[in-house]
Structure formats: structure tokens, C-alpha cells
Amino acid sequence: MNTTSQKIIAVVPAAGIGKRMQSQCPKQYLTINNQTILEHTVFKLLSHPLIEHVVIVISKGDEYFQETSLTSQQNTSVVDGGTERVDSVLAGLLSIDVERFPWVMVHDAARPCVDLDDISALISKTKQHNCGGLLASPVRDTMKKSQLNNDTVQVKETVERENLWHALTPQLYKTTELVLAITKALENSMAITDESSAIEYAGYKSLLVEGKANNIKITRPEDLSLATFILSQQLSQKNNFIQVEGK
């Protein structure tokens, strides 16, 4: 993949309802600074010079999307998703012109804080090794495996954290390989938690590219204030860079 000429398409699955956020609307439509989380995420992806188009996958009968500015956003398209995240990702993949976009990036709608430099690193590494990969963060805390005992959750054992990583997004793979991998996994009723798990099941290689830990996924109510802080810091750094460049 020649990243100097080959543009990338991104798929953003946004059909979930986000039960753990305890909100009246799906979490991707909660707002930060008068903009939905989904808008922050899509605009962040489109601000990267190598991402040409974003496919947004929403649920059928979505009542919120039409209220966003994304309806008039260029370089985006919208498709209907499925019951599970993997179904929505596959729906997005099947809408792609593989000849035009042989590589596809999948990114969670609820990760608006992804750093553009991390995206560049992911693209660069996959180009260098000609195989897909994902952003990930090394596990830093002591890991515990649990077990249920008389309706209480107890420690079963301590898990060695060496070689353990937190899987993040985006995840970048060859479009055809990812479609084949997901299709094969679904046909065999395999549990697919992310694109990498499908790639693993299909026997393809997958790189781990270290990304910043502030690439959080907004899942619970307290995550919203943290994401607000991170985005404000990123905006401040960007503005400072522009001011220095303009001198």
C-alpha cells in the first residue's frame, strides 16, 4: 500500500444503543460542545489527509442522525446496520468499491479522541509490512481473572500482564480479506468482538501498533467528562501549533 497515493476508506459502526450510558438516546448522539460524539468522530477521521471517505452505519429507523450536520457532509455515505456490531461492520464493508478502496479502516463511533498521529502510525506500519493491524495499548495494571462464588465475584487468579494489550480502534485491513474473514466467522457462529478477532480466526496476520491511552471509548456516563477534557486539550494543542506555524 503506497500511502502517498492510496487513499483509505473508513467504516464507523453507529447502530448501537449504548445501554451502559443510561441515557435517553444512543451514546453516539450525546453531545460534547454542541456536537454529537458521532460528529466529533467522523470529522476527526476526515481531517486525516489519507482518509478520503467515511461510511457511517446506523440502525434502521434511526431518529437522531437526520438532526446532525453529517447529513450534508461531503465524503460520507450512510448504510443500514444489523443486530450486532459485526453485522453493521459487514454491511458497511459490502457497500465499498474494493477496486477504489483496497484497504479499509474500522473505527468505533464512541472513540472521538483518537489521535491523528496514531492513525498515521497505523497506516505507516501496515504499509511497511503489507498486512493489517490495529491500534492497541499495553496493559499496565495487574490483571485478575474472576469467578462467581455464592453470588459474589471473587478473584480466581492473577494473570501475567506481559504481552497483554488493550485492543483499540481504528483497525486497518485489506478490504477483501476483512470481508472474507467476517463472513467465515459468522458462518461458523464464532464470536466476533472486533475486526482483529475475525482476522485471527481466518488465519491472517495482524499487527499491534501502540496508540495513546487517551483514545478512550465512551461507554459509561463518567467517560463523557473525560472525553470532553481530552478533546479540549487536543483542540488547544492544534490551535497552538497553528499559531506557531503562522508566525
Report the C-alpha gap between 185 and 192 in whole angstroms. 7
149: in domain: no
Strand locations in the chain (E): 8-14, 31-32, 35-36, 51-58, 76-80, 103-106, 133-138, 143-149, 152-159, 165-174, 207-210
Report the C-alpha gap between 116 and 74 in whole angstroms. 20
Q: Is residue 6 very low, low, confident or very high in pLDDT (cuts 50, 70, 90)?
A: confident
Which pLDDT score is estimated for 19? 61
Give start and end residues of each alpha helix (H) in 135-220. 175-187, 195-202
Residue 118, pLDDT above cutoff 90: yes
pLDDT, average across residues 25-35 = 93
How many domains are contained in the chain? 1
110: in domain: yes
HEC profile of 214-238: CCCCCCCHHHHHHHHHHHHHHHHHH
Residue 36, pLDDT above cutoff 50: yes
Q: Is residue 5 very low, low, confident or very high in pLDDT (cuts 50, 70, 90)?
A: low
Which pLDDT score is estimated for 207? 98
Average pLDDT, the chain: 92
146: in domain: no
Full domain range(s) for residue 37: 8-133+166-246
* Per-residue CA distances from 183 to 38, 86, 174, 178, 198 (Å): 27, 10, 14, 8, 9
Whether the Cβ atoms of residue 199 and residue 173 lie closer than 8 Å to each other: yes
Q: Is residue 157 very low, low, confident or very high in pLDDT (cuts 50, 70, 90)?
A: very high
pLDDT, average across residues 176-198 = 97
Report the C-alpha gap between 77 and 124 in whole angstroms. 26
205: in domain: yes
144: in domain: no
Residue 178, pLDDT above cutoff 80: yes
161: in domain: no
Residue 4, pLDDT above cutoff 50: no
Report the C-alpha gap between 182 and 164 in whole angstroms. 24
Per-residue pLDDT tens over the stretch 73-93:
999 999 999 999 999 999 999
Residue 214, pLDDT above cutoff 50: yes
Which pLDDT score is estimated for 245? 55
Which pLDDT score is estimated for 116? 96
Beta strands 165-174; 103-106: pairing state = antiparallel
175: in domain: yes
Q: Specify the CATH number for the domain of residue 189.
A: 3.90.550.10
Which pLDDT score is estimated for 246? 55
Which pLDDT score is estimated for 3? 42
Q: What is the DSSP letter of 51?
A: E
145: in domain: no
Q: State pTM to two decimals.
A: 0.91
**How far from each other are the two terminal CA atoms of the chain, in whole angstroms?**
36
Share of residues in the chain with pLDDT > 90 (%): 84
